Structure 1
């Protein structure tokens, strides 16, 4: 029956696992510096025939997925005359929006490299050209496109070589600004090549530029996810404490054998005194009552002093799970030991002190330690001990054990007794 259930769940998970989880970053900031070449048109006697003048650019990019994205960018180019040209100087700035295609992902680069990638980009730009010959700034719009080879340095940084071509329309002047433009439509052309850095933003390990979403990788991830779900399902269906309630709905997975539980695995406690009913009767038989002790001659001063010593010296404590105020089931032996002593010594009073381990916020742990002491106090009162004979307090964090030792921390999450 169990195998059939697991098979059914396996088939369901296989059928419903269609899309891969997008566990990658999408934002990046791109910087670059390099050279530019502004080609035609120029006035007669003016020219820039070398690709050597300064070009700068910066962009913010968002990838919708591992294949396509959008980029907003700003570019600057300083246009200087070549040798043999009349002297001039122009400063060109552009603002643009471009669509981005991750060609490396589209062409399955991840099948053979995890370092090299290629982006393609194209869009529209608004340009402004300022020259020394006129006071007004020449403005125009155009189209932009290019390729960006990338090399990944780390998961946060990648080198990029951005090669861009631009063509602009609506210009009134030539690049040098000395005469009117030819107005032939997209006649102002510029090429830039910049070397720069992509900085990847986000909490995930990888960016969309270099995430491996190849079919083989996706199949591996899907199989891994299904195996993980099946392992969890198999674990959930186990019943570690053998109380008849599977782990995944068992709120008390450490119930001792023989203790009756409800549908959620909680020990039945009809009188709400904090002690499971099946354990309560067994504990009453285990520990001596006043009458049986006197009859057997075991309640003399020596026995009474021994019990007090065990309680005061910390041999008998109530222990708790991490971040919990519910005593461990086995600790009810200690609670019953205390109840028995208080019943047999009606003049005795006691102070209960709770403690917490070093994990977490100190202020919270101080409160938790007091809540643990109050919980044991309530159990003792519900068991018939007069509340006037009891007091409780929080002892805060017990730092006597190594904070990194999980097992050692178990012994400091406790409530101790001090008898008077």
Structure 2
């Protein structure tokens, strides 16, 4: 038994030294709580010394423990605890009743963290504890108080019930030095060293105190690092998404004030379509209209009639993937084109006309074309266009292309517009 206790003590000392060294370089102690309160009760059994004819049950009821613990880091701490033990005879023994009181200061090692329990469980833990203290033995009807020193060591299993409480089960051994009376109180003992040996087993609760989310008992550096890695990965994902150039205008989305500008049209440094006269038509398109159609009667280029013709003739479309009601990213610029036109011409309204390809049931496709038109109208409304200016038209299947051609079917899965 002494060899076992010495071995446990050595393990605790080495573990605490290792824990302190590692924690200095790896853990911020403000990340977890350090204080806890421990209460427990259970059974005991004294082994020696005892008087012939006097003995207790195995195990014997009862004992109670109370302690306060402080963890310097998530692997090493100290606790101050006190215990009360009651000894009474069992059937066949001569009658007696004794009481033992103790108070101990103990080093605590979080064996669960030292052995990396977090790699396989977040529910079960293990503590080791050892230390010295003071004890007193009294016996009913006997005029003595036997005062002694003690040495205590044990292990405590833990089951985490939450961040504020854990269920515990402890087994400990207590060695008494300078014990002068038998545990039953009916005979004196002599000699030096650890004359008294007793055992205890308890079940109890640990209550964690502090403002942090977790206590040191359950705080693992690996989990904290993983959390930080996850946060960094999330930030990188946000940056990667922001660096996407959805409208291919050379400006990343995270810096693009207009991430759905028309492809191929010049933009400024913030990704906005260049429209110096604010008529809702890109300057580059106005130049094209001027070259192709000449100036309008008013002397301005790209008149409303020209833009209206461009829209009504089907050059401005919104496309969809198979069986989808969400516009493809590449075709959102068509919606933006109509938004600019309607904003520049507040008296104008538009039909929003949905189509589907010929694959599938005709009634289903009719409904699909309706949903596509409604989806585009909602984007227009969200962009500031009054819903009263937008009329939904569901044209169902477009049979104008070769049904067996995948590329041709892509062309007819669309929404077009008609200015009124």
Q: TM-score, normalised by structure 1?
A: 0.49
Structure number with bigger Rg? 2
